[in-house]
Amino acid sequence: MNDSTEILEPLVKQWAVLLTTYKRGGTRVGTAVNIVVEGALASFRTWDTAWKLRRIRNNPGVEFAPSTALGRPTAPAIQARARVLEGEESARAGRLLARKYPAMHGLLVPLVHRLRGNKTMHVQLTPVGTRSGEQTRCGAAEAGTTTGHEECASFCPHLLFYLPGWG
């Protein structure tokens, strides 16, 4: 079992998570979503014109935490990278959601999306570290700079802490 699988294991039976996305200015926006976990990846569904999807396309760095149905967190958040799925990956995520939530995602959500004229989109969440507060910091983050995060690959979760307006 790899680290991502261990991090997501408690969420396999979780009904909802609080997904936190970031506006261009760094403002955090939380939304409760249903997720399905398969191995080291989690997925959720939304519609094509949803603001959370626009924020994810602008900044794929997100956090998600187990929560109540109303979005009240019940455990520490997990930092992740979001990726919009297409084709067979999207169809697979849809089938997994429908299997976990038969009435909600097998019938109601797709029906509402169709009636509204929206396209159903699926987003994959890949953990990039451990739970918030436990993440190890890269050298650039230790130095307190917003540049030099090349060692963190294409996404550095430490940049989330250096966005304008953050302390």
Q: Which two tokens stand for residue 82?
A: 């979001």
pLDDT digits (tens, 9 = 90+) for 72-94: 999 999 999 999 999 999 999 99
- pLDDT on residue 147: 53
What is the pLDDT at residue 65? Answer: 94
Residues of the chain with pLDDT under 70: 1, 129-167
pLDDT score at 78: 93
Report the pLDDT value the prediction gives residue 1, as an integer from 0 to 100: 59
Task: Decide yes or no: CATH 3.40.640.10 for domain 3-134.
Answer: no
Domain boundaries, the chain: 3-134, 136-167
Do the beta carbons of residue 30 and residue 72 sit within 8 Å? Answer: no
Whether the pTM exceeds 0.85: the reply is no
